[in-house]
A and B are shown apart, each in its own frame.
Chain A
Amino acid sequence: MKKKVLLMGASGSGKTSMRSLIFSNNPASLTSRLGATIDVEQNHVRFLGDLILNLWDCGGQDSFMDSYLTTQRPTIFQQVGVMIYVFDAESHEPIKDMEYYRDCLEGLRYFSPEAAIFILIHKMDLIREPQQLLDKRRQELQEVSGDVSIQLFGTTIFDQTLYKAWSSIVHTLIPNASILSKHLSIFAQACGATEVILFERTTFLVIATSSSGTGVASSAVPTYAKDGSDHQLEPTRYERTSELIKAFKYTCSRVREEFHTLELDLHDFSAVLDELTKNTYVLVILHDPTIETAAVKLNIRLARSKFETLQADSLN
């Protein structure tokens, strides 16, 4: 299955940086060395095995913006699954940014009315009053977007917020993620786990969790565990796990090693992070001190083939 993902926004807003951070395991510190994107850069990335994301990273210089909105209009806006519009939080031309956004929205409505729209207010690390700015932008953009529903995130390549936004984005591209969630929940119960989280292998984006009945990889509210206990866990844990493991994977690659598994036995909890299917990793969190990590590892091994099937189904 192939999905077209448009990455739009003014030149310099951070589109290519975030793409390289999420999809090719580059650290944030190297993004300043990226060259400017000329015109449109098309990339195919394989996600979850059978899902192919066709990423259109659109340059964003004025001249190109003008041509997207005129001659190239159908080419760009046809058959879009998701449009991600990136605003530089520190933009010096907010009015022009908004005009381009409005034009893109028009094109999308005409050629791909079903497309999901994500708006990222990016480079939030540069902003002193982040919440204030987000509220303001949200209001403005909702007004401009009218009855089109948008999802807005504040992001920066320097922390977990980018993973949170992108987990939500890819989530809209996995039609049956709720099946995975349901089975993760069953698996959590079988293991006596507080929580089980499924990550896509290369991006380490969250695909599904045992705690989200609806399958939405949302972490806005603190989650109460599935094991009947009253554990209340840190609300940003999913995206921060993505960020931490991704950074550690990069570290490993620097010493020509490859991150494979992790197990922890700490004061407050123990955890196992291991491959579940060819394209996913699973994180099992245990708060019950009587459960052995070795038993969890065995359970993971036993669940592999079942989840291979489920994962394939989740894309249909």
Chain B
Amino acid sequence: MSHSLPFAREAPLAFRGPALWWSGLLAASAWALAAFVTHHFPDQSEIVEWTQTGHIAVAQGAIAVTFLVLAVTAPLIPPLWRRIQGLGPWFVALGLFFATWQAVTAKFSLLPMPFFVPPQQLVEVYLDDWARLGESVLASLWLLARGYVLGSAVGFAVGIGLGWSPRFGYWAHPVMRLVGPLPATAWLPLAFFLFPSSASASTFLIALATGFPVAVLTWSGVASVNPDFYDVARTLGAKPRFLVLKVAIPAALPHVFVGLFMGLGASFAVLVVAEMLGVRSGLGWYLSWAQGWAAYGNMYAALLVMALMCSGLITLLFQARDRLLSWQKGVVKW
């Protein structure tokens, strides 16, 4: 055998994939193990009877079979292969995770029971309570959208004003310095008093939490624009309006997006707190409601949904940024 021409020999093979997807085979074993643990050992539940144990075992078995098939076929289908090629270790880990989770909760009760729930209970929550959960997600999204859009818009405008107009800065700067660093949640007791409804109060709080980082970073973005950019535009006949809209704002946009990301993070925190303490809807409310009933399964279910929601929103913002700032090199991939 000759190894003198590795590229010529390996390039076509790498394109089509190897004969067998080994980590796919391993993933199949891990998921088969999970199915086995779920099916073989009896549930040790004293209070409730879980109804979904059998279904879960079947689903895990089906996943194991799927991986077995993929282990043989995926390398032959280039588009599929490119997508799943690198994910093997994750599939294995997930299978092991489900097997372990099942074992330490439902099967051997190694973790204290009502606080740690087995997968079957989570599935039950989603099956029984999907309507209320879905409503809560929509309520949270709607409240978040109002507060975030309002806060970003006002924050952006204030930031441009601070960066551009000394007269505006004279009045706005001291106010910002005093009020901005205050966590928005500190306003909570007052806000619920002062505003006509808890919804408007929470909108205000979320807007406040979003607005401050957006304003500060927009401001610093405008302030750090290369002054030569203005000189260039001025010698070419640009009026102040053009300088703001076509020079200052695009140049400041990378900073603005940092502010938008920080604002989004802050808005999540305020959203949950506001919903837990005042608003009678949304995922935060769902969490505290579940706590009231000691319904730990519902809490995990809501937490998972919340994680997916927040992560999805961050992803959306990243995509918007990548679109608008495609001219930048070396941007972080989410």
A binds B: no
A interface vs B, CB < 8 Å?
A: none
